[in-house]
Amino acid sequence: KLQQQLDDLVKTGIEPGIGTLRFKHLTVQGKDVFVIGIPKNWGLPAMVSFQKTNKFYRRRTSGKYLVDVHELNQMFMKGQKAYEQADNYRRERIRKILNGQVLPTIATGPSVILHLIPYSFQTNTLLDLRSVNQDVWHRLKPPFFSGGDHRYHYDGYMILDGAFHGEVNGYGMIQRNGGYEMFTANISYPYRVHENLSINVFDVSLMSESIEV
């Protein structure tokens, strides 16, 4: 009942909504503790509209405080800046992949490039991938994986579809910034139109069996 009351209070007292809250009840030294998880918001800052107010707050060690105009402007710009940084990062990675700067032996032709970019990539925090069980990374192989090599790369830990010193048709990589990058050229096949003409066909149905996150 308390969980429902808190959930309703947040949904009706904040604009725009801040997503699904997560609740967990704990008992610590005989006392009840209710833990509430709030998801990080990429979009607009949340405004308190409870009891017809229109206020923006921030929190510091001594408690909450009302933000001024300058801080409010920064809060509105933060989400857009994060999106632009992620978009620029992806564009630069695509350029490097297609130019052979990530792997000089990458296959050319029709391909799919996927990026999963965490919000924390802005902090420039690098993960130590050596401390993680490598068996986990093999679940992140590229679609239609037919076997190949796996090794550490400057940007992270990479699983290759194809020989490392031959043509690479695809790879999946856990990046040191916490992101995931996938490249595959295995999504097209030659289709013979007639005796003197063949074209590459991109079959989107092939992707239905490919990726599980």
Q: DSSP string spanning 130-198? A: GGS-HHHHGGGPPTT---B-EEEETTEEEEEEB-TTS-B-EEEEEETTS-EEEEE--SEEEEEEETTEE
Judged against a pLDDT cut of 80, whether residue 135 lies above it is answered with: no
Judged against a pLDDT cut of 60, whether residue 93 lies above it is answered with: yes
Question: Using an 8 Å Cβ cutoff, are 202 and 190 in contact?
Answer: no
The pLDDT, as a whole number, for residue 130 is 75
DSSP 201: E
Q: Which pTM does this prediction carry?
A: 0.61
The pLDDT, as a whole number, for residue 149 is 79
Task: Please state, in angstroms and as integers, the Cα–Cα distance from residue 185 to each residue in 1, 37, 105, 113, following that order.
Answer: 52, 40, 12, 9
Q: What is the pLDDT of residues 3-59, one digit of tens each?
A: 888 888 888 888 887 778 889 999 999 999 989 988 776 667 888 888 888 899 888
